[in-house]
Amino acid sequence: MRIRWPRRVSAQVLRMQLAITVGVTALATGLFLAPLSHELDDQGMHRALAIAQTVAADPDVAQALVSSRPTPDGPVQAEAERIRLATGASYIVVMDTHGTRWSHTDPGRIGEHVSTDPSVALGGKDIMQIDRGTLGRSARGKVPLRDRSGRIVGAVSVGIAYDSVRGRLLAAVPGLLLYAGAALAVGVVAAVWASRRVQRATRGLAFADISALLDEREAMLHGIREGVVALDSQGRVRLVNDEAQRLLGLDGDAAGRPLHALLPPGRTTDVLAGEAEGSDLLTVSGSRVLIANRMPTEDGGAVVTLRDRTELELLGRELDATHGLLDALRAQDHEHANRLHTVLGLLELELYEEAVDYVAEVADTRRASAEQVADRVQVPLLSALLVGKTAIAAERGVRLRISATTWLPDRVVDPRDPVTVLGNLIDNALDATASEVEVELRVEHTTLVMRVSDDGPGVPPELRERVFTEGWTTKKSPSHRGRGLGLALVRRLAERYGGMARVGARAGGGAVFTVVLPEALAPAEFGADMSAALPGGAR
């Protein structure tokens, strides 16, 4: 029958921890017993040597060895037995220089030659050893025996039964195993506690499930069309997917670095860091309009999702442009209807010459106005924008005029960006309840300077930076898109060119918005546009 191993992470961790605990306990016990056995042997040999030295230090023993014979009832045997019984030694053998026993636990062996080599001790050196003799294996100590003059007259050999040393070791094993068992029990309890913690943390999943979840998470994070940025409690980036890197312009090694070190100060950084509250927050990153949502996590961090709304914003602006075109056509239709009614009245009154003069005057005025814009602004997209905005301004009762110093040759590298900037500035001025709006376009080498002024209420000094912040507006939002992005996009476009956008006060009241776009125009050829350098473009 095949053993089925547990699949859950907690069960596998418990099994591994129990195996480790048992193995470590057994290893620690073995490592403790090994030196303990050696230590007990060493203690036995030192004890035997100490007893032998004590016997050898007795001058009566050396004197009796010299003056008597080796007999069971001799003084040497009596003294040796007395000391043996007092110390608990297995034997005490006193021998002469020929190796003949003068004492022994078995009196019948007195007078015989010792069973082990006594030459080392008779040579004047102490010796300790574990050896086997006639009384079995024992811990031994041998010392030379000297008379009063220091001459070696024999040797003393003392043995402690090895079984007694082993018995001490075996006697220590139960206590040691008791401690080892207690340590094992503590280890098992700790392993079970750790397993429960792991089970709660992993929610009872198996390693294969966790691995599959990680693979699925990676595929999902890098496959979705939304940007995902995960932050820890310290504001460091824990995870950023491919879409977030693209939307925020981050490099591949963003993980582990603080958010403020990756992004410049601004609304985008504030939204990601949680300093701006709310849902579906609008922000501008580079030339992209993003919608951000931030969800806090239990560990104090957060997960931020980013959606690219640039295309939707562009569609909204195209819809605005379409509405603007419709407004301009409606205004022109209204104006043409009034003029036709006037002509019809003149004809009905039979004022034919006055009707001809009126039609000629209106035609000349419209043609002169359009030609004036086309002469001063030779970029077709920008001139068409100005003509359309003029009609819208006229319907609102606002006069939109082109400054006498305006001059823009057809050298703009990408007219779409200036159209976006100028359209936003004019719309902002028309919404300022002004009665007059003035547009000035100037060229300084390859730099385009756009200035739009109005005679409205103006912008207070304390708000002149906030008006360029995305999401900030005093206007009512239309149904198809949010407000507060036009001037923010204007500044971002200017900064992308390396220029700037600012607002100031207009002389006499109102506001002046100035945008500088360096390198927005291609360099002029030598002598080109020189005849058109003056306003009006004399050619």
Mean pLDDT, the chain, integer: 75
Strand, helix or coil at 229? Answer: strand
The architecture that CATH gives domain 225-308 is 2-Layer Sandwich (3.30)
Q: Which residues pair with 317 in a beta bridge?
A: none
Q: Which pLDDT score is estimated for 241?
A: 82
The tens digit of pLDDT for each residue in 209-267 reads 556 666 666 666 666 778 888 888 888 888 888 788 778 878 777 777 888 888 887 77
Position 253: which residue type? D
423 near 321, Cβ under 8 Å? yes
Q: Which pLDDT score is estimated for 532?
A: 43
Show me where the domains of the chain are located: 9-168, 225-308, 312-517
Q: Which pLDDT score is estimated for 274?
A: 81
Position 376: which residue type? R
Strand, helix or coil at 77? Answer: helix
58 near 78, Cβ under 8 Å? no
225-308 and 9-168 share a CATH fold: yes
Q: Which pLDDT score is estimated for 221?
A: 64
How many Å from the N-terminal Cα to the C-terminal Cα in the chain? Answer: 102
The Cβ of residue 415 has, within 10 Å, a number of other Cβ atoms equal to 16
Q: What is the DSSP string of 301-324?
A: -EEEEEEE-HHHHHHHHHHHHHHH
CATH 3.20.190.10 matches 312-517:
no
pTM of the entire predicted model: 0.42
Q: What is the DSSP string of 203-226?
A: TT-BHHHHHHHHHHHHHHHHHSSS
- CA-wise closest residue to 111 among 122, 121, 123, 96: 96
The residues of the chain scoring below 50 in pLDDT are 1-6, 364-365, 367-368, 476-483, 526-539
3-state secondary structure 24-74: HHHHHHHHHHHHHHHHHHHHHHHHHHHHHHHHHCCHHHHHHHHHCCCCCCC
83 near 54, Cβ under 8 Å? yes
The tens digit of pLDDT for each residue in 94-135 reads 998 888 888 988 888 888 888 888 888 888 899 988 776 665
What are the residues whose beta carbons fall under 8 Å from the beta carbon of 467, sequence distance 6 or more? 459, 487, 503
Q: What is the CATH number of domain 9-168?
A: 3.30.450.20
Q: Which pLDDT score is estimated for 155?
A: 93
Q: What is the DSSP string of 455-468?
A: -SS---GGGTTGGG
